[in-house]
């Protein structure tokens, strides 16, 4: 989400003292940093924003933008202090809390991320992105009673948001609300019909429900969309073996091995043993 800042215009013909001159130069560097960010020149943006902060150390807008530049460069560990700096200056800035929560989650600090995103949703209760992120974090720590209200609210706010629907569906599945999980996943598929992972998710739900035929069909759909979906090939192999479709199961397992053998040698070897157990020849 873009944030708009109001820049005060300069009065012509006025002699500026040293403090005002530094402030105006800091504003100029800040505006330059924003322009570089919009152009995708993140290194240049960082340099300009760092200079703005050197000239005006407690410049909240520059702190926030520098944090955003670092976040976009996937340097969340370096972005965190800048977002925290904004919060010290402006405790009720929802953007600082929301982006801080995102960065904490990216560096594996889940509880800190939950605290920051909770505050962000308190300050901006209708922000779908933060609701979705907070719900996903609660889902990851298996607190489904806390995850589901945030994800339900995110979908209520934006029924056509596929990320919110996807996260809600996974949380419902993990909370054993399988019928509702299937319904929400189908909603997401309508929005993203070419998403292989959503078809895989639907297959998982059907597999857990012991709806073998429906699960096999969903996995086949996932593979049609993306033949490199290794998880779909594996699950398909398991279900085909259970359904006594031995040769098709062997083919699916071997496809899985072809896709992940070098990356996951332990898992690939386990699948080779599964192939042997049903009388096949593994790759």
**Residue extents of the structural domains in the chain:** 23-124, 125-190
20 pLDDT band (50/70/90 cuts)? low
Q: Give the single-character DSSP code of 40.
A: T
Q: Per mean pLDDT, which range of 28-42, 95-109, 260-274 is the poorest?
A: 260-274
pLDDT at 262 over 90: no
Is CATH 1.10.645.10 the right assignment for the domain spanning 23-124? no
Q: Which residue has the tokens 């996937």?
A: 74
pLDDT at 14 over 80: no
pLDDT at 261 over 90: no
pLDDT at 24: 86
Q: What is the mean pLDDT of residues 67-91?
A: 96
Q: Which CATH superfamily is domain 125-190 in?
A: Tetratricopeptide repeat domain (1.25.40.10)
What percent of the chain clears pLDDT 90, i.e. is strictly above it? 89
pLDDT at 18: 44
pLDDT at 135 over 80: yes
pTM for this predicted structure: 0.78
Domains 23-124 and 125-190 share a fold: yes
Tell me: the pLDDT tens digits for 202-212?
A: 999 999 999 99
Q: What span, in angstroms and rounded, lies between the C-alpha atoms of 60 and 130? A: 21
166 pLDDT band (50/70/90 cuts)? very high
Q: Which long-range contacts (CB under 8 A, 24 or more apart) does 235-240 make?
A: 235/200, 235/203, 235/204, 235/207, 236/203, 237/271, 237/274, 239/207, 239/212, 239/215, 240/216
Is the C-alpha dihedral spanning 185, 186, 190, 193 positive or negative?
positive
């Amino acid at each position: 989400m873009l944030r708009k800042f109001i820049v005060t215009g300069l009065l012509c013909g006025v002699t500026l003292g040293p403090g005002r001159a530094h402030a105006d130069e800091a504003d100029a560097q800040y505006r330059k940093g924003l322009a570089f960010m919009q152009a995708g020149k993140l290194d240049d943006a960082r340099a300009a924003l760092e200079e703005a902060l050197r000239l005006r150390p407690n410049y909240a807008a520059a702190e926030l933008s520098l944090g955003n530049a670092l976040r976009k460069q996937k340097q969340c560990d370096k972005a965190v202090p800048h977002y925290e700096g904004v919060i010290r200056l402006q405790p009720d800035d929802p953007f600082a809390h929301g982006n801080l929560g995102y960065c904490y989650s990216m560096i594996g600090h889940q509880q800190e991320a939950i605290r920051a995103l909770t505050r962000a949703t308190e300050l901006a209760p209708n922000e779908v992105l933060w609701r979705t992120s907070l719900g996903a974090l609660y889902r990851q720590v298996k607190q489904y009673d806390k995850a589901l209200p945030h994800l339900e609210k995110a979908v209520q706010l934006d029924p056509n948001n596929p990320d919110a629907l996807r996260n809600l569906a996974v949380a419902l599945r993990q909370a054993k609300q399988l019928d509702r999980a299937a319904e929400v996943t189908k909603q997401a598929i309508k929005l993203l019909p070419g998403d292989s992972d959503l078809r895989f998710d639907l297959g998982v739900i059907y597999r857990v429900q012991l709806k073998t035929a429906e699960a096999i069909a969903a996995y086949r759909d996932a593979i049609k969309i993306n033949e490199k979906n290794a998880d779909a090939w594996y699950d398909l192999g398991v279900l085909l073996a259970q359904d006594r479709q031995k040769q098709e199961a062997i083919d699916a397992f071997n496809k899985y091995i072809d896709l992940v053998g070098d990356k996951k040698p332990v898992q690939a070897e386990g699948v080779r043993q599964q192939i042997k157990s049903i009388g096949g020849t593994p790759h």
